[in-house]
Amino acid sequence: QKGHVLPQTVLYIADAETFSGHEECHEQKKARKRNSKETAIALEKLLPKRCQVLGLVTPGIVVTPMGSSSNQPQEIEEGEAGFALLFPKIDGVKIHTFHFSKDLKNRVFDESKFAEAGLKNNPDLRVVLLFGYNSWKSGATRFLHQIVNPLNEKSIILAGGQVESFTSLTSENTNAQPGDACGVVGLAFSGPQIQSATVLLDQDVADERTAEAAMQRLKAANIPERNTIGFMFACVGRGYRHYKTKRNMEADAFRKFFPNVPLFGFFGHGEIGCDRIVTGNFVLRECNDIKDDLLHGYTTVMTLIHLGSTK
């Protein structure tokens, strides 16, 4: 008998050209511009109704082609590309989406919303992937700080970046369109079996040797590689331009040290993350009095998320 595993949470990311490209309209026999909302709705119809869906649009994509986790990850900086990660129900792991939008009437963010989103008073919280959207809007940077700073107090992994927009967030019922304001969406991973670590590749990482040195730091975290996903959040200013026309440098460096871990992510307009390596007993170091600087530009954040062993 064949069994089917239904996704409970889906993260999909596509480049802007894929979501606002052209398609042929047979009635008019000419191309018309696709609406990103139409594309998002068509994708969501393929998924179970109760599935949590988070969809993002970014300038470029990092993806490991389907078929095998050992396939070569690719940095696709131009052209149409996208991927979807489908997370089934996993024993001992809870994955949920969240959304905080900037309140135009209130300059101070109500931190009680963190508890509602499972980001506060949650001892099993391990990883938060954060994505800011409409970062060019007035007050967007200040709002992102209001979200990131309280989370920076916790001994959790924080990673992500600034995207063009979000197209799907089916966990909430709202009439507000993504273009109306700025805000932050994301995924929170909770569960005692989750292990994670991140490294930051700053502007000084500009050749194969220094890129591989960063991956060695990540490897030193000793995160189990089975049932593990890699995420790469890079600045649009990096890629082949940063490495003097050599393409796929960072994805290749990742694969060298993690040949069986699939890598996904995007090129965006700002990065969130820092070096956070777990200790030998897989407990994150306690944050000291000096907070980590989590918001960057012209960098790359590499993240590993281990979802535990399967029976």
DSSP 8-state assignment for residue 147: H
Q: What integer pLDDT is reported at residue 23 of this predicted model?
A: 46
Beta bridge partners of 183: 101, 133
| Ranges of residues in the chain whose predicted pLDDT is under 50 | 22-33, 171-178, 280-282, 287
Give the start-to-end residue ranges of the domains of the chain. 91-310
User: What was the pLDDT predicted at 139?
Assistant: 84
Give the pLDDT score at 173: 42
The tokens describing 117, both together, are 């989103």
| Model pLDDT, residue 285 | 52
- Write out pLDDT tens, residues 96-121: 999 998 877 777 788 889 998 999 98
Mean pLDDT of the chain: 83
